[in-house]
Copies of this chain bind each other. A is one copy, B any other.
Amino acid sequence: MRKTKVAVNGNGVIGKRVADAVSLQDDMLLSGVCDVSADWRIRVAASNDYSVYAFDEASGEQMKTAGIDVQGYLPDLMAASDIVVDCTPKNIAAQNIEHYKNAGLKFIVHGGEKHETTGHSFSAENNYQSAMGRDSTRVVSCNTTSIVRTLTALKKAGLLKRARGTLLRRATDPWESHLNGIMNTLVPEKDIPSHQGPDAQKVDPELDVITMAVKVPETLSHLHYWNVQLTRNSSREEILAAFASSTRTAFINYSDGLSANNAIKELMLGIGRPYGDMYEVAMWEDMLKVVDDELFYAYVVDNQAIVIPETIDAIRALTDLEADGSKSIEKTNSSLGISGSFFENML
């Protein structure tokens, strides 16, 4: 079986997870991980027997000093790969993209980049097909992924008229919460509408969605509150059935003790997810409310994890590994333990 050789550039929050997920796919091969860091983070990558490449000579020297077995530099990794997933910070990514293009290498960027960098914004359950064979795509951000995923389900059911959301964003990620963060305060995003609504429309222009966003002092995950104007009066049952059509949206229940973001995180650790990652949108089933033609609901988004399965699917689409989006999704889900329910596997 042909295996797509995948390079990961940037061993950060997203990069290390993409590398782990690629390693789990039977139709992919992790060609290597490239980074600038020479500290404990790259040592963890090395300990997983990933091939480590240095971004440049300076970082290569530091890695060698730290005892890392450096396989080469970014161009070497690119030469050994069919596609590169760029997981570097914003400004760096823009430069990298030029390198990939010049080398004629397919690539994927993430939600920090603008739509225009690739001309295509990806969300598997919405537009897998349109990414087939492309040179590049952008896997949209964690927040946007959750929006597209959930609203696509409502749209497919013919129920979506207009969605208005308030997004509570975790202030920083756990691994760097000693470096930057906010304390005992809330920080609204200045612009209303916030960028996530227009961003979702880059994937699907038909989505009528406006968002407001605020940074909150926790590190675990985002929390979204939605008020949706439906196309007609509906019922809880109908709405739940619509959301259940997304394989990457899973219901949780407040009555089951899952009443806060930390409890959800502990559940993920308990069921053995690496890093306690949650790839699914976790939607509270027993909080969801329908009032005539209005729908109210809340869900949790693991900002570190939700784009990982999307990225795996995007690799398949770009490299023509799988022509059927739903088959790719199923394959990815299976490899990562995504079953549509956190408990289905258990009982």
Q: Which of B44, B166, B275, B347 contacts A225 (CB 8 A)?
A: B166
What chain B residues lie within 8 Å of A259 (beta carbons)? Answer: 178, 187-188, 190
1/0 per residue, CB under 8 A from B, across A205-240: the answer is 000001010101111100101010000000000000
In Å, the complex CA distance between A286 and B191 comes to 9
Given the complex, which residues of B lie within 8 Å of A289, measured CB to CB?
Answer: 192-193
User: A214-B223, A258-B40 in contact; A190/B263 too (CB < 8 A)?
Assistant: no
Query: When the two chains form their complex, are residues B186 and A183 in contact, meaning their CB atoms are under 8 A apart?
Result: no
- Fill in one digit per residue for A251-263: 1 if any B CB lies within 8 Å of its CB, else 0: 0001011111111
Q: Is A267 an interface residue (CB 8 A)?
A: yes
Which single member of B179, B210, B291 contacts A210 (CB below 8 Å)?
Answer: B291
A101 to chain B, nearest CB (A): 32
Minimum Cβ distance to chain B for residue A338 (Å): 15
Query: Smallest Cβ distance from A276 to chain B, in angstroms?
Result: 7
Contacting pair A218 B168 (CB below 8 A)? no
Shortest CB distance A225–B (Å): 4
The size bracket of the interface on A is: 35 or more
Tell me whether A269 is interfacial, beta carbon within 8 Å.
Answer: yes
Q: Once the chains bind, are A346 and B47 in contact (CB under 8 Å)?
A: yes
Which residues of A are interface residues toward B (Cβ below 8 A)? 16, 37, 39-41, 43-44, 46-47, 66-68, 164, 166, 168, 171-172, 174-188, 190-193, 210, 212, 214, 216-220, 223, 225, 227, 254, 256-263, 265-267, 269-272, 274-276, 284, 286-289, 291, 294, 296-298, 343, 345-347
A-B contact pairs, 15 of them (CB 8 A): A41-B257, A46-B346, A47-B271, A68-B347, A168-B186, A174-B266, A175-B266, A176-B262, A178-B185, A184-B218, A185-B263, A186-B223, A188-B223, A188-B284, A269-B275
